[in-house]
Every structure is written in C-alpha cells, then in structure tokens.
Amino acid sequence: MRGFPPIQIFLLCLAFIVLAVPMSHLTGNTSNAKVVKVAAKEAKSVKALLRLRFAHKPTTLSLKLADKELIASADASPLELDAVLSSTKDGVDVFLSATWPENTPNTAVTLEIEPDGLEARSETRWSSAGSLDEVITFIWK
C-alpha cells in the first residue's frame, strides 16, 4: 500500500520548516546579545588611621606616605594620626626611618594602618645597630 505523494511531500516540507525555524535562530548572524561594559573602579582617596608603636623612644623618627611627611618627631607610644591614602588599588608604600641613642638594644616598631572600608593591616620591623630605614608595603585584595 502506497501513500498519496502530494501529502507525503507536504508533510516532509512541514517537518523541514518546523526544524528550520529553531536552527535559524541558533545559527543566524543576527546579534541579540547585549554588550555589557565593565565599569572600572576609579582610584579614589581613602581616609585612614595610622598607629605607630615602639618599645624604646627614638631620637629621630620619620614617617612618609607618598612623599608627604606625616611624623617628624616621636613624643610617646603609640602615635596615632589621620592620613589620606591616594589609592589602595596597587597597595600603599610607607617609608619609615628612625634612630635610637647608643646602647639601645634592637627594638621593634609596629605600624598599623586602618583605611575606611578595608580591614586593618599591621607590620612590625626590628631595628639593627640603633637605626631603622624601611619601606613597608600594605596590600589589600
């Protein structure tokens, strides 16, 4: 028993049309995708609290942040001061130098930094031969 050829051709064309519609959407050249631009975070200045602690009082003390002198003398420990960090994206370099009187044993100096909106970081450095000259880098990820 054979079927009627015009109906078979019609059903075959209908099957191709039904399959062609989704295939054209999948392989078509039309671009329906929306381009999303990632906004780069601008480097903004951040307020921060700096705290410097030392066991023995240094004769000279210098704390610089971005070539700006923050502390020029040591009165008592701990020293606290407010500063503005230009950017915490690539980290913050703090230049610390100090000298102590002769016969002062090697002593520790701790620098803590607490920027607004970021967690606090702390670094301790030890003096040798009565002096300290360090660059301390704080990094937030």
User: Residue 40 above 60 pLDDT?
Assistant: no
User: Residue 41 above 60 pLDDT?
Assistant: no
For the chain, give every domain's residue range. 47-138
Asked if residues 63 and 98 have their Cβ atoms less than 8 Å apart, the reply is no
Selected residue with higher pLDDT from 100 and 33: 100
- CA-CA distance, 128 to 47, in Å (whole number)? 32
32 pLDDT band (50/70/90 cuts)? low
Asked if residues 139 and 91 have their Cβ atoms less than 8 Å apart, the reply is yes
| pLDDT tens, residue by residue, 84-126 | 887 777 788 889 888 888 888 888 889 999 988 888 889 999 9
For 7, the token pair is 């109906």
Integer-rounded Cα radius of gyration of the chain: 34
Counting DSSP H helices and E strands in the chain, the numbers are: 1, 8
Asked if residues 62 and 72 have their Cβ atoms less than 8 Å apart, the reply is yes
- CA-CA distance, 123 to 67, in Å (whole number)? 20
Q: Quick one: pLDDT at residue 21?
A: 85
pTM above 0.85, yes or no: no
31 pLDDT band (50/70/90 cuts)? low
Q: Quick one: pLDDT at residue 35?
A: 64
Element (H, E) at 141: none
Q: Quick one: pLDDT at residue 124?
A: 92
For residues 58-74, average pLDDT: 81
Q: Quick one: pLDDT at residue 2?
A: 77
For residues 37-65, average pLDDT: 78
36 pLDDT band (50/70/90 cuts)? low
For residues 126-138, average pLDDT: 87
